[in-house]
Amino acid sequence: MALERKLFDAGRQVFVLDGDIIRTGLCQDLGFSSKDRTENIRRIGEVARIMANSGLCVIVAFISPFRVDRDRVRDAMLESCFIEVYVNAPLQVCEKRDTKGLYARAIRGEIADFTGISSPYEPPVSPEVELNTDRLSVAEAVDSVLSFLSQ
């Protein structure tokens, strides 16, 4: 949300597509199986593509666990309209930041197909930006993305 604010303040038309919000509407019929996760990313990729083609800067804040799904979305976008930002944090940091208690529930086996616990996460091979959020402040992370965008 800090990146959205900075872009907006700089005069950009920007919109955040948030995974939790999309799951309660557009993708409410999907679960968390590998097949459903693929469809979830396909749908949000299509929405992001349509929005970007209309001139919006779209920030897609999603857990996208499979490389092939991210690559499909990239391939569907216009040239240079897709920037992969890998928000990288160790599992312990994710658990500490988890205000909903989902990691604890997944570790106890109460949530199936939880990314990074009972379902795999395939890190990007060469993202445009990698943010090691266990070492960066929010402001530093935003500055890293903005620096890349200015290039």
User: Contact, 55 vs 25, CB < 8 A?
Assistant: no
Calculated CA dihedral for residues 40, 7, 51, 88, nearest 10 degrees: -20
pLDDT for res 78: 81
pLDDT for res 133: 94
User: What CATH number does the domain containing 82 carry?
Assistant: 3.40.50.300
Residue 123's identity, in one-letter code, is P
Q: Is 119 a catalytic residue?
A: no
Total structural domains within the chain: 1
Per-residue pLDDT of the chain (151 residues; tens, 9 = 90+): 999 999 999 999 999 999 889 989 999 999 888 899 999 999 999 999 999 999 999 999 998 999 999 999 999 988 778 999 999 999 999 999 998 888 999 999 998 888 989 899 999 999 999 999 999 999 999 999 999 999 8
Question: Can you give the residue range of the structural domain that contains 91?
Answer: 2-150
34, 64, 126, 147: which one is catalytic? 64
pLDDT for res 6: 97
Query: Up-side HSE of residue 61: CA atoms within 13 Å toward CB?
Result: 12
pLDDT for res 112: 87
